[in-house]
Amino acid sequence: MLNIIIFGAPGCGKGTQSVLIIEKFGLKHFSTGELLRKEIEAKTALGMEADKYISKGNLVPDEMIIDVITNAVQQLDADCKGIIFDGFPRTVKQAEELEKLMNGLGKPTTVLIDLQVSNRELISRLLTRGKTSGRSDDNLETIKKRLDVYATKTTPVNEYYQSLNKYAAIDGLGTVEEVFERIEAKLR
């Protein structure tokens, strides 16, 4: 199995690149942000609780997201070629739980792909996206908060995967196709 973690700051292109990777390698997509936004839209108890954190640019609590991922992974078809985790893990605690879960299922993670983009470019991309995304967190104040949370709580996940020898850094600047070619070259 090819079990990839696509990683990087808000606006780095994780979602966009995930779609291309899935098409090429036939993987299943798990985006925690998307899963949570669906819950919010459906106004479920989980969604209402998650929205309190998301709209302020904070992370939702680890336990909540670990439950969501555990359920999703356990429902996978037996013939699944692999998974792409998008927006997860976002804390070292989540990473440790993911490793336990996947190793326990005999489906270990393959690699974390760290899409690197400067803060200046990230802010510009997110503000542009905010004009059409309708997302409550794509405004300047919340974007700054998300980048802050990313720097303090999420970047340590990089070191964790470096220590496992499952880490690849990719330059996230350039066209969608250029970035995808870099990722594909790494995966092959």
Nearest-5° angle of CA 84, CA 139, CA 43? Answer: 65
By CB under 6 A, is residue 65 in contact with ligand ADP? Answer: yes
Give the Cα separation of 161 and 169 in Å (integer).
11
Name the residue nearer to ligand ADP (CB basis): 88 or 167: 88
By CB under 6 A, is residue 68 in contact with ligand ADP? Answer: no
What is the smallest separation between the CB atom of 81 and ligand ADP, expressed in angstroms? 23
Figure out which of the listed residues 60, 83, 102, 179 binds ligand ADP, where binding follows CB under 6 A.
Answer: 60
Does residue 83 sit in helix, strand or coil? strand
Query: Is there a contact between 50 and 37 (Cβ–Cβ < 8 Å)?
Result: no
Give the Cα separation of 52 and 47 in Å (integer).
9
Name the residue nearer to ligand ADP (CB basis): 120 or 188: 120
By CB under 6 A, is residue 113 in contact with ligand ADP? Answer: no
Structure token pair of residue 138: 């794509």
Q: Per-residue x/- marks for ligand ADP, 25-44, CB under 6 A? A: -------xx--x--------
What is the smallest separation between the CB atom of 44 and ligand ADP, expressed in angstroms? 15
User: Which string of b and e fits 155-172 if b means at least 16 CB within 10 Å?
Assistant: eebbebbeeeebbbbbeb
Residues 93-112 that bind ligand ADP (CB under 6 A): 94
By CB under 6 A, is residue 88 in contact with ligand ADP? Answer: yes
Name the residue nearer to ligand ADP (CB basis): 78 or 150: 150
Structure token pair of residue 71: 């359920």
Structure token pair of residue 54: 């998301």
Structure token pair of residue 61: 């609590």
By CB under 6 A, is residue 59 in contact with ligand ADP? Answer: yes
- The binding site for ligand ADP (CB under 6 A) comprises 10-11, 14, 32-33, 36, 53-54, 58-60, 65, 87-88, 90, 94, 137, 146
